[in-house]
């Protein structure tokens, strides 16, 4: 199998790399400070910086990169997404802004396909 990134994957790699350098990596310390200030785990909420990163990622077209359906995400194949996941995995907070609340791609794929089937059955 040929694993060289497609032109589309190369574009996403470049955009994601720039986004991480400009926004995500500088935010790691702030994220850690916000998480450490939670006295009781039952009152935990997503840190404010993560909400800001998620909004920026959506605006930059870097949201739900793992979803293969274009109407829900980037529409990338697994081979196209793999190098992006590797890049995000190097940063402790990167998966959170791009994967929508830290769920694994498999769970989101299951959820999105189940939701579509349910909508067809009831709509």
73: domain CATH number?
A: 1.10.540.10
Residue 1 lies in a domain: no
Helix (H, G, I), strand (E, B) or coil at 109: helix
Asked if residue 67 is part of any domain, the answer here is yes
Number of structural domains, the chain?
A: 1
Q: Are 97 and 50 in contact (CB under 8 A)?
A: yes
Residue 19 is assigned to a structural domain of this protein: yes
**Residue 67's closest CA among 110, 111, 109?**
109
Give the residue from 59, 47, 63, 56 showing the smallest Cα distance to 95: 63
Cα–chain center distance at 41: 24
Please report the pLDDT score of residue 54 as a whole number. 86
Q: Is residue 39 part of a domain?
A: yes
The pLDDT, as a whole number, for residue 99 is: 45
Q: Distances from the Cα of 82 to the Cαs of 4, 6, 74, 75, 97, in angstroms?
A: 11, 12, 13, 13, 17
- For residue 115, the model assigns a pLDDT of 54
Predicted model pTM = 0.70
Cβ contact 108:116 at 8 Å:
no
78 part of a folded domain = yes
pLDDT in tens, the chain (123 residues): 667 888 988 999 999 999 999 999 999 899 888 888 777 767 767 788 888 988 898 899 888 887 777 777 788 888 888 888 888 888 878 765 554 433 445 555 555 565 555 444 444
Instruction: Please tell me the distance from the alpha carbon of residue 1 to that of residue 84, in angstroms, as a whole number.
Output: 18
């Amino acid at each position: 199998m040929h694993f060289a990134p497609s032109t589309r994957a190369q574009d996403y790699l470049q955009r994601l790399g720039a986004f991480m350098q400009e926004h995500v990596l500088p935010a790691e310390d702030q994220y850690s400070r916000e998480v450490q200030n939670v006295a009781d785990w039952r009152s935990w909420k997503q840190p404010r910086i993560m909400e800001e990163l998620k909004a920026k990622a959506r605006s930059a077209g870097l949201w739900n990169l793992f979803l293969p359906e274009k109407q829900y995400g980037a529409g990338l194949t697994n081979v196209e997404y793999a190098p992006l996941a590797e890049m995000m995995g190097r940063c402790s907070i990167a998966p959170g802004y791009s994967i929508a609340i830290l769920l694994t791609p498999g769970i989101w794929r299951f959820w999105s396909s189940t939701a579509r089937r349910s909508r067809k059955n009831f709509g």
